[in-house]
């Protein structure tokens, strides 16, 4: 069966990442400041324009899914995603000018990291 570039990227690249939050964080890491995406293999396979369109679409899908996922679930994913030295969580919206989505992802990022930080801090006994 021949997969679309979007399905191929999801099944081959993103499937290695166990959670929605890790998938979204990875795709965000591919986004350049100018809004393009940098994925060598996909560029080689599809060309730069098609690779950017493909990853942009996936980024939008993952971002939308994250806005529909309860913070509790995203926090659980973040907590189980790695060691205490894990990289800071950075969620960015696709460069589509959707400020509401950007703000929502920033709120998710801040909430998830705040919950993780509150669980890692020691609370004095009352």
pLDDT(27) > 70: yes
The answer to whether position 93 is within a domain reads: yes
Whether residue 80 lies inside any domain: the answer is no
pLDDT, position 116: 86
- 45-55: per-residue pLDDT in tens? 899 999 999 99
Q: What's the whole-model pTM score? A: 0.86
For residue 93, pLDDT beyond 50: yes
Q: Is residue 126 part of a domain?
A: no
Domain containing 48 equals: 5-68+88-115
Residue 16 corresponds to which tokens in the numbers above? Answer: 């290695």
Whole-angstrom distance, CA of residue 126 vs CA of residue 113: 25
Domain assignment present for residue 56? The answer is yes
Number of domains in the chain: 1
Tell me which of 89 and 83 has the higher pLDDT. Answer: 89
User: Which pLDDT belongs to residue 85?
Assistant: 54
- The two structure tokens encoding residue 46: 């599809």
């Amino acid at each position: 069966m021949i997969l679309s570039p979007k399905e191929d990227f999801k099944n081959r690249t993103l499937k290695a990442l166990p959670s929605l939050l890790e998938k979204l964080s990875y795709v965000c890491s591919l986004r350049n400041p100018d809004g393009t995406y940098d994925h060598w293999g996909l560029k080689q396979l599809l060309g730069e324009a098609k690779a950017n369109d493909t990853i942009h679409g996936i980024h939008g899908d993952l971002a939308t899914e994250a806005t529909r996922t309860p913070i509790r679930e995203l926090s659980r994913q973040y907590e189980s995603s790695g060691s205490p030295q894990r990289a800071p969580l950075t969620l960015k919206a696709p460069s589509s000018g959707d400020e509401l989505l950007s703000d929502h992802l920033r709120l998710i990022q801040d909430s998830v990291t705040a919950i993780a930080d509150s669980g890692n801090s020691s609370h004095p006994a009352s």
